[in-house]
Amino acid sequence: MQRHLLTIFLAATAASAVTTPFSFPSLPDLVASPKTPSTPFPLSAARHPSKICVVDPEATDAGPALISAARECNNGGTVVLLPDTTYTIASPTDLTFLQSVDVLILGTVVFSDDVEYWQTRAFGYPYQDAHLFWKFGGRDVNIYGLGIGTLDGLGQTWWTAKRSNETLYRPILFGTDGLFGGSVSGLNMKNSPFWFNVIMNSSDILITDINIWIEVTNSSSPPANTDGWDTYRSTNIVIQNSTIDNYDDCVSFKPNSTNIIVQNLQCNGSHGISVGSLGQYQGEYDIVEDVYVYNISMSNASDGARIKIWPGVPPNTTGSNSGGGAGYVRNVTYDLFYNTNTDWAIELTQCYFASSQEACNEYPAVLLVEDILFKNFYGITSARHDPRVGTLVCSDPSGGGNGRYLITEKGANSDTQVCKNIRAENIAVAPPSAVTAEWICTNMDEGLLDVNCIAA
């Protein structure tokens, strides 16, 4: 009834933004559960129930109308996108000025698929050529859809264009840049051109009850790089209670992601929940630390839990974006994973995207991986590697041919190891053949691994 009355009352509104005392669906109570962040989220300031700003449903380009409504309702109001209405964003929309405001999306937001236009207009970032149609930032911002609101990236146009031009930019469906405190909840997201979500330069955000999926209408041009979430240079983030049906990482922790909880997800068709990739850019120092991944259902995926590190590069290499970066991965736990038809239940590699195994051996990764725990893994893998179900491969601590690590015996000096304290406990994953599961374990302390290690 409330939604119906809201539709009737606001449908006649012609202004780009209006203020009205009308009652509207309020932000639901959102709680991080069962795992909670070590630093509690800040409380939202009170919202004024009479301060409601409606985005003009007649606007040809909803971008400027959304900005106008957000400016009017900043500092205590709620911006409303009407139900049963399609809003088309056809120009870059910068919403990084927000302060103590909610955005209620009850309609459908569609992003123009004018590929040529967005090549020079989208908000661009140097890391992995990320681009955004719109971006949210500021303080104390809640974006919610109550299970009704939908974001549609019209991805097939972009996937088809990519087939003939590998270098074109494909924007991300939703992104934050400098958002401190708030939430994203109750949204449907479909057909992103690139990643579905990026959370960057942000902190103290709860993301919950999101439904992500892809509709392919041209099988000769399938999706690519459609990560569910990527976190980048962000801390104290919780992602939970969502379903993801995509073609790349379900969640990926990019450089400088710290204090992250991911829990209660159903992932299908993905590349797993991944740390990385890290170490891609020489001269950069990448950190992923204090991450807890809990209660994940992973189906029809290349990987369940995954850590992917780029290898090193030859000495005196400059301008490299294909490895050689330093940093560390530390204190990461994957707990309670249900695998169905995954190729690898767990994959750890420090040879990600190497030009060859020989090159990787000669110039091993320099990025440290330590204090990692995989526990309570169940299910059955795919037949792809049967009877092997997982692979844990660390760089040679002797440094291969470049002499970066100088030790004479494996494990002789733990300070020179690039993988330390990697543990696997209560791992009950089987291959479909039902024979004894095998694990590839290279340069690992096998005494810490509750798995059947074999030579590569």
The structure tokens listed for 100 are: 């103590």
| Residue 207 Cα distances to 185, 347, 411, angstroms | 6, 26, 41
Report d(CA 130, CA 114) in Å as an integer.
17
pLDDT the model gives residue 398 = 65
pLDDT the model gives residue 406 = 29
Q: Would you place residue 13 in the very low, low, confident or very high pLDDT band (cuts 50, 70, 90)?
A: very low
pLDDT of 293 above 90: yes
Burial classification of residue 75, based on how many CB atoms lie within 10 Å of its CB (0-12 exposed, 13-18 middle, 19 or more buried): middle
pLDDT of 104 above 50: yes
pLDDT above 90 covers a percentage of the chain that reads 84
Taking a C-beta distance cutoff of 8 angstroms, is the pair 134, 95 a contact?
Answer: yes
pLDDT the model gives residue 397 = 63
Q: Would you place residue 455 in the very low, low, confident or very high pLDDT band (cuts 50, 70, 90)?
A: confident
Q: Residue 164 — φ and ψ, nearest 5°?
A: -100, -10
Tens of pLDDT along 440-452?
999 999 999 999 9
Tens of pLDDT along 45-70?
999 999 999 999 999 999 999 999 99
Q: Taking residues 21-25, report their average pLDDT.
A: 65
pLDDT the model gives residue 357 = 77
Tens of pLDDT along 391-423?
999 988 665 444 333 223 333 344 567 899 999
pLDDT the model gives residue 7 = 39
CA angle 276, 400, 277 (to 5 degrees): 5
- The residue ranking higher by pLDDT, 178 or 397, is 178
| Residue 281 Cα distances to 123, 309, 314, 395, angstroms | 21, 11, 13, 18
pLDDT of 11 above 50: no
Candidates 4, 48, 131, 271; catalytic one: 271
DSSP string, 137-149: EEEEEEEE-TTT-
3-state secondary structure of 443: coil
DSSP 345: E
Q: Would you place residue 266 in the very low, low, confident or very high pLDDT band (cuts 50, 70, 90)?
A: very high
CB count, 10 Å around CB of 9?
Answer: 15
Buried b / exposed e over 357-394, threshold 16 CB at 10 Å, is eebbbbbbbbbebbbbbbeebebbbbeeebbbbbbbbb
pLDDT the model gives residue 358 = 83
pLDDT of 9 above 70: no
Report d(CA 115, CA 79) in Å as an integer.
28
pLDDT above 70 covers a percentage of the chain that reads 90
Domain residue extents for the chain: 81-454
pLDDT of 195 above 50: yes
| Residue 284 Cα distances to 114, 321, 399, angstroms | 34, 10, 20
Tens of pLDDT along 299-345?
999 999 999 999 999 888 888 888 999 999 999 999 999 999 999 99
Report d(CA 267, CA 252) in Å as an integer.
13
Tens of pLDDT along 131-170?
999 999 999 999 999 999 999 999 999 999 999 999 999 9
Class of domain 81-454: mainly beta
Q: Is 271 a catalytic residue?
A: yes
Tell me the one-letter amino acid at 287: I
Taking a C-beta distance cutoff of 8 angstroms, is the pair 156, 192 a contact?
Answer: no
pLDDT the model gives residue 416 = 65
Q: Would you place residue 361 in the very low, low, confident or very high pLDDT band (cuts 50, 70, 90)?
A: confident
